[in-house]
């Protein structure tokens, strides 16, 4: 990757030092916007269609009109990745309500802002993938769906940030968030999977987790391998009693969990099903997407 990072903003590439967003942008003032995190593997933008479909759905929910076509967005993403010489890395695609004035009224913003960052990313050290994570459950609950639908990948991440800080205070890298009824929803930035007696479980979308692109890929891989996959509610009891556990996310990919709230999961080492699914995921990442060149 080139040293002089290039950022795409509203149709133009800027150097990192020159890439600016107005303080009157409602994405800055109120977190009013949507985003996608997308991976690049061996010059291939992974599952780009799924990411852009989610972006457009999130924007539609917020009555936020993306000021460019789908094909135009694909072209802008490819241009940004090429400009940064990125073969493996991470794209952050953001659409905000745009520049307006003080006040919540979205009508004050005549045109949304679009910007794209393409750079390297490293969520966890390799040792965590080899040995597994320790996580805790935190007091901050996931936002109730009646307040805001978690299917929207919103720029307002304060709920997740508060939970992340609670995990950091306990010296762990990730934290499990429950809903108001005590069901496991997701982690601060990742989806949750557990394995019990060969069956793969993950919280259903109606409980409030983000419908992760990596989550869906893992479900497809497990089903193709003949595994039973159940999207159904479960509590911390089922987590503690699980044979295996792992998390998924665009940046994290898939990573084992070996201890939750001080309790070992299974044997306290990454499980065989977890390791197999991680290996299968890594086999498809450079084949399932849009080539940059």
| Most distant CA atoms of the chain, gap in Å | 56
Active site residues: 153
Q: What is the 3-state secondary structure (H, E, C) of the chain?
A: CCCCCEEEECCEEEEHHHCCCCCCEHHHHHCCEEEEEEEEECCEEECHHHHHHHHHHHHHHCCCCCCCCHHHHHHHHHHHHHHCCCCCEEEEEEEECCECCCCCCHHHCCCCEEEEEEECCCCCCHHHHHHCEEEEECCCCCCCCCCCCCCCCECCCHHHHHHHHHHHHCCCCEEEEECCCCCEEEECCCEEEEEECCEEEECCHHHCCCCCHHHHHHHHHHHHCCCCEEECCCCHHHHHCCCEEEEEECCCEEEEEEEECCEECCCCCCCHHHHHHHHHHHHHCCCCEEECC
- Spatial contact of 88 and 11, defined as CB atoms under 8 Å apart: no
The phi, psi pair for 205, rounded to 5°, reads -60, -30
Q: Which of 177, 178, 195 is nearest to 187 (CA)?
A: 177
**Distance, CA of 98 to CA of 21 (rounded, Å):** 9
Alpha-carbon torsion 20, 26, 29, 31, what sign?
negative
């Amino acid at each position: 990757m080139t040293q002089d990072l290039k950022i795409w903003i509203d149709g133009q590439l800027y150097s990192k030092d020159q890439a600016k967003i107005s303080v009157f942008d409602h994405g800055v003032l109120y977190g009013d916007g949507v985003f996608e995190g997308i991976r690049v593997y061996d010059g291939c933008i992974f599952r780009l269609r799924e990411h852009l479909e989610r972006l457009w759905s999130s924007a539609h929910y917020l009555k936020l009109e993306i000021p460019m076509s789908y094909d135009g967005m694909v072209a802008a993403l490819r241009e940004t990745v090429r400009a940064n010489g990125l073969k493996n890395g991470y794209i952050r695609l953001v659409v905000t309500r745009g520049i307006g004035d003080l006040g919540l009224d979205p009508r004050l913003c005549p045109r949304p802002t679009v910007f794209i960052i393409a750079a390297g990313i490293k969520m966890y050290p390799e040792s965590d993938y080899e040995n597994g994570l320790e996580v805790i459950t935190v007091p901050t609950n996931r936002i109730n769906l009646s307040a805001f639908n978690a299917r929207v990948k919103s720029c307002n991440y304060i709920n997740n940030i508060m939970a992340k800080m609670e995990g950091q205070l306990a010296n762990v890298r990730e934290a499990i968030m429950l809903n108001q009824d005590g069901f496991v929803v997701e982690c601060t930035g990742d989806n949750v999977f557990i394995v019990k007696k060969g069956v793969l479980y993950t919280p259903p979308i109606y409980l409030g987790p983000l419908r992760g692109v990596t989550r869906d890929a893992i479900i497809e891989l497990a089903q193709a391998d003949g595994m039973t996959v159940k999207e159904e509610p479960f509590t911390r009891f089922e987590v503690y009693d699980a044979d295996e556990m792992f998390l998924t996310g665009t940046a994290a990919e898939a990573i084992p969990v070996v201890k939750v709230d001080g309790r070992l999961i299974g044997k306290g080492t990454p499980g065989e099903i977890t390791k197999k699914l991680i290996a299968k995921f890594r086999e498809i990442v450079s084949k399932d997407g849009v080539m940059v060149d």
